[in-house]
């Protein structure tokens, strides 16, 4: 059996950084809460999926086989956490004048395209809620058999008072919750009770509804993740990921219904991604109407990989401050990395540029040191900013031979996912106005007018191009 590297993660369950001990050394089970496909995923959502991708890559880099499962919520997520309001898919269908099935397909396809452009590895199992209605009904039946449910006029509900550990995960003060803030009472027995199965209203025309032992309707939002994760990973599995906004409601409810349904611990390690916040310190949210999607970034002249690099600049459990200046800085740094990679490839001219495996035995003392530092950063709760810093220090170290630098970059990229091996010089068609500015800058430099030269350089950068000064004269690259 191949040896595995020691990993440490911050576990939301204990609020501590813990050594990772898998249930089965042969395969680690990871479940990621996927998107609710009623609209385009915004970059705040995408940050959480970049984190999940880095986690999966790190586990594999450490020597583990991974089974990564992600859900697609295409039914049951209502516009209120209080199990009230309209189904988000049904609402979008009404507004867009198409069916809920068409809405789900449209935004699932967009999400998968965004994931591809951000170089996320395809998950091993992509499971849709609407494809797993029988599994969800069966889990509700198990909860009913175990005495954890009750029925009211609008559906079947989970009785949280029957699960004493309900508040522990989110550190909830249940007694202090105000009805209407966390969950509206209505006919519910307790403020925190939640829907397992909702009944279709007689006056409502739904595209998505199914027969059940309790009446025709559709599943609640939370039940899908429990039913599908346990189907593909077992009743107890290793790691569950999501955004921190899931802690107090969705993941708390998942734990309750799963553990009460099976009598077993649900998940051993819970890892949560912090918010992406705009430069005014406000989180990005569809409800706030301040969303930016990947197309917005591309239309401003930035590549999706510049956004991925931005995400790597912050540890997943820390808030990611985002703005156009921050993205521009990341884009310029990514462009510099690309130039370094291309220079190494040209220097090696094939040969070692095809190397994809790194053995410590083949490295000099400096190369070994950087490989160890990179691993230590990643294996200590996915510290990607430190890992990037190690990468750049290695690139600037003249004592590391070019072939080792390239081999280390390719190895590091197994986790970073920046597309090192595919980086090639691009033939750009530069607009004439940008070329004119470049010529003006060269004239200013010849006259030693450095202030004007810097001003022109900044103007060129603002137009989406970076100047690379070399022995053969300056050239332009797209930022």
Within the chain, how many helices (H) and strands (E) appear? 14, 15
- Quote the radius of gyration of the chain (alpha carbons, Å): 26
CB atoms within 10 A of CB 366: 16
181 and 59 in a common domain? yes
Integer Cα distance of 420 and 427 in angstroms: 18
Using CB atoms within 10 Å of the CB of residue 166, give its burial: 0 to 12 exposed, 13 to 18 middle, 19+ buried. Answer: buried
Strand partners, 9: 18
Residues 418 and 439 in one domain: no
Q: Which residues fall within 8 angstroms of residue 339, CB to CB, at 6 or more apart?
A: 468, 477
Inter-residue contact 400 to 394 (CB < 8 Å): yes
Q: How many domains does the chain have?
A: 3
In this structure, are residues 421 and 413 in contact, taking their beta carbons and an 8 Å threshold? yes
- In angstroms, rounded to a whole number, what is the distance separating the alpha carbons of residues 378 and 417? 13
Q: What pLDDT shows up at residue 355? A: 53
Yes or no: say if 256 and 160 are a contact pair by the CB < 8 Å rule.
yes
Please tell me whether residues 331 and 457 are part of one structural domain: no
* DSSP SS3 for 371: helix
Tell me, what DSSP letter sits at residue 332? Answer: H
Question: What pLDDT was estimated at residue 284?
Answer: 60
SS3 437: helix
Cα distances (Å, whole numbers) of residue 464 to 323, 427, 448: 16, 15, 25
| CATH number assigned to the domain comprising residue 230 | 3.40.50.620
Write down the pTM of the prediction: 0.88
DSSP state of 246: G
Indicate the residue among 422, 440, 459 that finishes a domain: 422
Residue 321 lies in a domain: yes
Please report whether residue 367 resides in a domain: yes
Q: Are 208 and 130 in contact (CB under 8 A)?
A: yes
In-domain check, residue 135: yes
Same domain, yes or no, for 232 and 136?
yes
Burial label for 279, CB within 10 Å (0-12, 13-18, 19+), is: exposed
Classified as helix, coil or strand, 103 is helix
- Whether residue 467 lies inside any domain: the answer is yes
Structural domain of 341: 294-422
pLDDT by residue for the chain (479 residues), tens digit each? Answer: 467 999 999 999 999 999 999 999 999 999 999 999 999 999 999 999 999 999 999 999 999 999 999 999 999 898 887 788 889 999 999 999 999 999 999 999 999 999 999 999 999 999 999 999 999 999 999 999 999 999 999 999 999 999 999 999 999 887 665 444 444 578 999 999 999 999 998 888 899 999 999 999 999 999 999 999 999 999 999 999 999 999 999 999 999 999 999 999 999 999 999 999 987 655 666 666 678 999 999 998 899 999 999 999 999 999 999 999 999 999 999 999 999 999 999 999 855 555 546 666 689 999 999 999 999 999 999 999 999 999 999 999 999 999 999 999 999 999 999 999 999 887 667 888 888 899 999 999 989 999 998 999 989 888 888 888 876 688 887 77
For residues 442 and 448, the answer to whether their CB atoms sit within 8 Å is no
Q: CATH code at 298? A: 1.20.120
Determine contact, residues 332/479, Cβ cutoff 8 Å.
yes
Closest CA to 419 of 57, 124, 118, 49: 118
Answer yes or no: do 157 and 240 share one domain: yes
The reply to whether 234 and 307 lie within a common domain is no
Same domain, 230 and 315: no
Determine, yes or no, domain membership for 53.
Answer: yes
Domain annotation covers residue 202: yes
Of 381, 402, 422, the domain-final residue: 422
Residues 98 and 158 in one domain: yes
Contact by Cβ (8 Å): 158, 253? yes
Residue 282 lies in a domain: no
Q: Is-contact 82 184, C-beta < 8 A? A: yes
pLDDT at 161: 97
Residues 80, 200, single domain; the answer is yes
Co-location of 187 and 324 in the same domain: no
| 265 within a domain of the structure (yes/no) | yes
The SS3 call for residue 216 is coil
143 and 51 housed in the same domain: yes
Residues 316 and 454 in one domain: no
Of 381, 404, 422, which one is at a domain's C-terminal end? 422
């Amino acid at each position: 059996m191949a040896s595995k590297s020691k990993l440490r993660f911050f576990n939301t369950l204990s609020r501590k950084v813990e050594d990772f001990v898998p249930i089965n050394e042969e395969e680690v089970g990871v479940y990621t809460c996927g998107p609710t496909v009623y609209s385009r995923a915004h970059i705040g959502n995408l940050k959480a999926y970049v984190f999940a991708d880095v986690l999966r890559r790190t586990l594999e880099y450490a020597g583990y086989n991974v089974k990564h499962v992600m859900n697609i919520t295409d039914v049951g997520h209502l516009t209120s956490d209080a199990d009230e309001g309209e189904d988000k898919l049904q609402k979008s269908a009404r507004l867009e004048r198409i069916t809920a099935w068409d809405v789900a397909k449209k935004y699932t396809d967009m999400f998968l395209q965004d994931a591809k452009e951000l170089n996320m590895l395809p998950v091993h199992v992509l499971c849709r809620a609407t494809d797993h209605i029988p599994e969800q009904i069966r889990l509700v039946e198990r909860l009913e058999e175990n005495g954890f449910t009750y029925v009211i006029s609008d559906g079947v509900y989970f009785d949280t008072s029957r699960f004493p550990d309900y508040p522990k995960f989110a550190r909830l003060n249940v007694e202090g919750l105000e009805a209407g803030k966390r969950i509206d009472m209505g006919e519910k027995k307790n403020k925190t009770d939640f829907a397992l199965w909702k009944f279709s209203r007689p006056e409502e025309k739904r595209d998505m509804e199914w027969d059940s032992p309790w009446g025709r309707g559709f599943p609640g939002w939370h039940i899908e993740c429990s039913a599908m994760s346990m189907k593909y990973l077992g009743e107890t599995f290793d790691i569950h990921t999501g955004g921190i906004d899931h802690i107090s409601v969705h993941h708390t409810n998942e734990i309750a219904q799963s553990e009460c349904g099976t009598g077993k611990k649900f998940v051993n390690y819970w890892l949560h991604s912090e918010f992406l916040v705009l430069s005014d310190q406000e989180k990005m949210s569809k409800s706030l109407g301040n969303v930016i999607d990947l197309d917005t970034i591309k239309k401003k002249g930035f590549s999706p990989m510049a956004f991925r690099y931005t995400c790597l600049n912050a540890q997943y459990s820390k808030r990611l401050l985002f703005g156009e200046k921050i993205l521009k800085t990341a884009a310029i740094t990514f462009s510099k990395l690309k130039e370094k990679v291309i220079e190494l490839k040209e220097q090696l001219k094939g040969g070692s540029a095809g190397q994809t495996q790194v053995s410590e035995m083949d490295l000099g003392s400096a190369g070994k040191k950087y490989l160890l530092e990179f691993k230590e950063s990643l294996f200590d709760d996915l510290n990607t900013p430190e890992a990037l810093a190690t990468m750049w220090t290695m690139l600037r170290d003249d004592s590391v031979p070019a072939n080792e630098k390239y081999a280390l970059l390719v190895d590091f990229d197994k986790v970073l996912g920046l597309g090192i091996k595919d980086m090639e010089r691009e033939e750009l068609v530069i607009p004439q106005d940008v070329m004119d500015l470049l010529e003006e800058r060269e004239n200013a430099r010849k006259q030693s007018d450095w202030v004007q030269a810097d001003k022109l350089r900044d103007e060129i950068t603002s137009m989406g191009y970076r100047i690379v000064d070399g022995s053969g004269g300056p050239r332009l690259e797209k930022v």
